[in-house]
Structure 1
Amino acid sequence: MSEATLSFSDPDQIPVLLGTHDCHIRQIQDALGVNVVHRGDELRIIGDDSQLQKSLRIFSELKAIIERTGQLKSEQVQTALFGGNPTSKEQKQTPDSTPSTIDLYEKSRKVHPRTPGQSEYIKSILEHDLVFCTGPAGCGKTFLAVAMAINALRTEQVRKIVLVRPAVEAGEKLGFLPGDMLAKVNPFLRPLLDALGSLLDYEQVNRYMENDIVEVVPLAFMRGRTLDNTFIIMDEAQNTTVTQMKMFLTRMGMGSKIVVTGDVSQIDLPPDISCGMTDAINRLRNIKGVGVTQLKNEDIVRHRLVGEIVKAYQNEDTLGH
């Protein structure tokens, strides 16, 4: 391994080069397989000779952009790395390519899809602006969507994450309950908060929520909003009505992505109310830009018994219960 040092006459350029949460540097490290260490007004680059030379050339290009414009965008880093050709984690995957990891940029943690179905789900999120994912409990529908949202935020593809869940048990009565919104809906939103907490440090989750970078809200609070440059996830979508689903999907603004997850075998709506998720899938699945993924029992990654439990309940009608 070799190393080289890159010095800066203007130390104010370094944070610009690093990017928000070091996202630019991490792009370069992941693409080239080098290690970049920031010390004072210097960057120390460690890696193989060939990659080291390429890194120095790319850093020189990026420094020139910063000197000229005073800023650096993720797309410019991508262009310097790959000449503008889509590749790596920000690429739009080709039909036969399968992403192997999702980088969270949090303590070097990577999330790995564990089944072919999960890989197809991730690929669908990369390729489409609206994705529906159905599947049984424990197959990673919400967890992987949240991981992809964090990745999109850290790589500056979006500015905000909004996590949504219908509070079926509370209906429209939430507004009449005492206390602030989070206190009212916390029991209904806890699964989404748990997903966030399993991927990020507690302090990071709190900081994001305090700064309005991450919102966790019930579906009823989405009315009248337009969300630009936002990664929006709806969990438990099988419990939405057709009207609610239409309202939710039309919140999408410019530069936004929506992932809708649910288990259509666990619908809690009254028998005479149509499921908004299945209705939306049937209406929209053939529209360009819309992806539909169906995860199955073999995609379950919880305790080994969960898959057997799901199968047992799926056989309920056959058993005559």
Structure 2
Amino acid sequence: MKSANIEIDSLDILQELFGINDKLIKVIEKRLGVSITQRNSSITVSGTNDGRIRSAVNIIEAMQEALSKQQQLSVDMIHRFLDETDEGDDQDEDIADSTRKVLGDAVTLNYKNIPIRTKTIGQKNYINALKNNTVTICIGPAGTGKTYLAVAYAAEMFRNDEIERIILSRPAIEAGEKLGFLPGDLQEKVDPYLKPLYDALNDVFGPDQAAKLRERGIIEVAPLAYMRGRTLNNSMIIIDESQNATLPILKMALTRIGVGSKMILTGDVTQIDLSKETDSGLQKCASILKNVDDIATISLTNRDVVRCKIVKDIVKAFEKEEAKAAEKTQKRAARRSGRS
């Protein structure tokens, strides 16, 4: 049995590292197959594999660093550290570096003055792309913070007087229910499709301020079709659920950008609600614009899912099943080709 020791400065930090009923440390023990014990001001990591012991030590040190930055430790955060460790291939410096990269930078403060932070390396790359480009295309699965971080960054730009308006839009495409079956006038019919945008605005600005900013026209939430014919200056324009827009519609939206504006297209290409006869334009748009200056494309993966661990596990399970189906299709095509 091999072991490594970590000296901790205070009993309070020790308690936070272990968590209630040792729940945080138990996650590390289960995933890495090590034993972690505490005696006085020292933590001992024991096991049979040097690489796994080093991984556990680096994760505990990353947890300490998170506490020093006033970040709250959680089971989901520990799983994100462990996911990065899985990519380290037992190389000590790589593991230490990757786990620390998960520690998030503050994008802005929410209405309760709590920092909204990136939580994965992919999310950090996303925010850097937003800062450094006029147009950012972000493609990734559910739960990766595509829309939420876009709204948070837009809020920070508005608070710093870098923009005058925030415009949020998404296609009003049905996912099961038809618009005609919903009650009310046109605005009431499309509001359910815009609800995720309202939720993000309310969380960042607070319900009262978000409502006031909407009343004053500083924040505008509208279906994508309402964009046609406009020129949008000094604005942050967020086009959510872009996988449900055709290429001509995305071209129309992109050509609305005016002086002093930025645009973000977000979408999940595994959740397209368009009819089979209608092609999604998001991936085509990203391909067409990939070599254009001042435009960035960011791809988030299941590793960037931060909604909760179960969502990440669901995304992984579906990706595995879809990969199996694709492999079967390729084999069938190969057999047909061989027969012909």
Residues 131-280 of structure 1: pairs in structure 2 closer than 5 A: 131-169=136-174, 179=184, 181-280=186-285
* Shift of residue 169, structure 1, vs aligned partner: 2.0
Residues 1-321 of structure 1: pairs in structure 2 closer than 5 A: 100-104=105-109, 106-169=111-174, 179=184, 181-317=186-322, 318=324
2:262 alignment partner AA: K
- Name the stretch that deviates more: 182-191 or 117-126: 182-191
- Tell whether the 8 Å contact from 1:105 to 1:154 is kept in structure 2 after alignment: no
> Residue 228 of structure 1: SS of its match in structure 2?
coil
Equivalent residue number for residue 37 of structure 1: none
Give the Cα separation in 2 of the matches to 1:134 and 1:120. Answer: 13
* Shift of residue 272, structure 1, vs aligned partner: 3.2
1:282 alignment partner AA: S
Give the Cα separation in 2 of the matches to 1:219 and 1:174. Answer: 15
CA displacement 1:145-200 (0-9 Å, x = unmatched): 00000011110100000000101129xx979x985553221111001111111212
> Residue 237 of structure 2: SS of its match in structure 1?
strand
- Please, what TM-score do these two structures have when normalized by structure 1? 0.65
> Residue 264 of structure 1: SS of its match in structure 2?
coil
* Shift of residue 104, structure 1, vs aligned partner: 3.3
Give the Cα separation in 2 of the matches to 1:126 and 1:161. Answer: 16
- Tell whether the 8 Å contact from 1:139 to 1:299 is kept in structure 2 after alignment: yes
* Shift of residue 293, structure 1, vs aligned partner: 0.4
Instruction: Go from structure 1 to structure 2 and tell me whether the alpha carbon gap of 1:250 and 1:108 turns closer, same or farther (over 3 Å shift).
Output: same
1:155 alignment partner AA: N
- Tell whether the 8 Å contact from 2:136 to 2:265 is kept in structure 1 after alignment: yes
Give the Cα separation in 2 of the matches to 1:308 and 1:99. Answer: 22
1:166 alignment partner AA: P
* Shift of residue 106, structure 1, vs aligned partner: 3.4
* Structure 2 residues not aligned, in runs of 5+: 1-100, 329-340
Root-mean-square deviation over aligned CA pairs: 2.4
CA displacement 1:111-136 (0-9 Å, x = unmatched): 11011110000000000000000011
* Structure 1 residues not aligned, in runs of 5+: 1-95
Larger Rg: 2
* Shift of residue 108, structure 1, vs aligned partner: 2.6
Give the Cα separation in 2 of the matches to 1:152 and 1:198. Answer: 16
Give the Cα separation in 1 of the matches to 2:140 and 2:234. Answer: 27
- Please, what TM-score do these two structures have when normalized by structure 2? 0.61
> Residue 196 of structure 2: SS of its match in structure 1?
helix
2:161 alignment partner AA: E
1:209 alignment partner AA: R
Instruction: Go from structure 1 to structure 2 and tell me whether the alpha carbon gap of 1:287 and 1:298 turns closer, same or farther (over 3 Å shift).
Output: same
Give the Cα separation in 2 of the matches to 1:137 and 1:105. Answer: 22
- Tell whether the 8 Å contact from 2:108 to 2:117 is kept in structure 1 after alignment: no
* Shift of residue 216, structure 1, vs aligned partner: 0.6
* Shift of residue 315, structure 1, vs aligned partner: 2.4
Give the Cα separation in 2 of the matches to 1:315 and 1:252. Answer: 39
> Residue 103 of structure 1: SS of its match in structure 2?
strand
Give the Cα separation in 2 of the matches to 1:252 and 1:271. Answer: 30
Determine which structure has the larger helix proportion and give its number. Answer: 2
> Residue 315 of structure 1: SS of its match in structure 2?
helix
Give the Cα separation in 1 of the matches to 2:183 and 2:305. Answer: 38
2:243 alignment partner AA: Q
Give the count of matched residue pairs: 222
Instruction: Go from structure 1 to structure 2 and tell me whether the alpha carbon gap of 1:223 and 1:313 turns closer, same or farther (over 3 Å shift).
Output: same
Equivalent residue number for residue 24 of structure 1: none
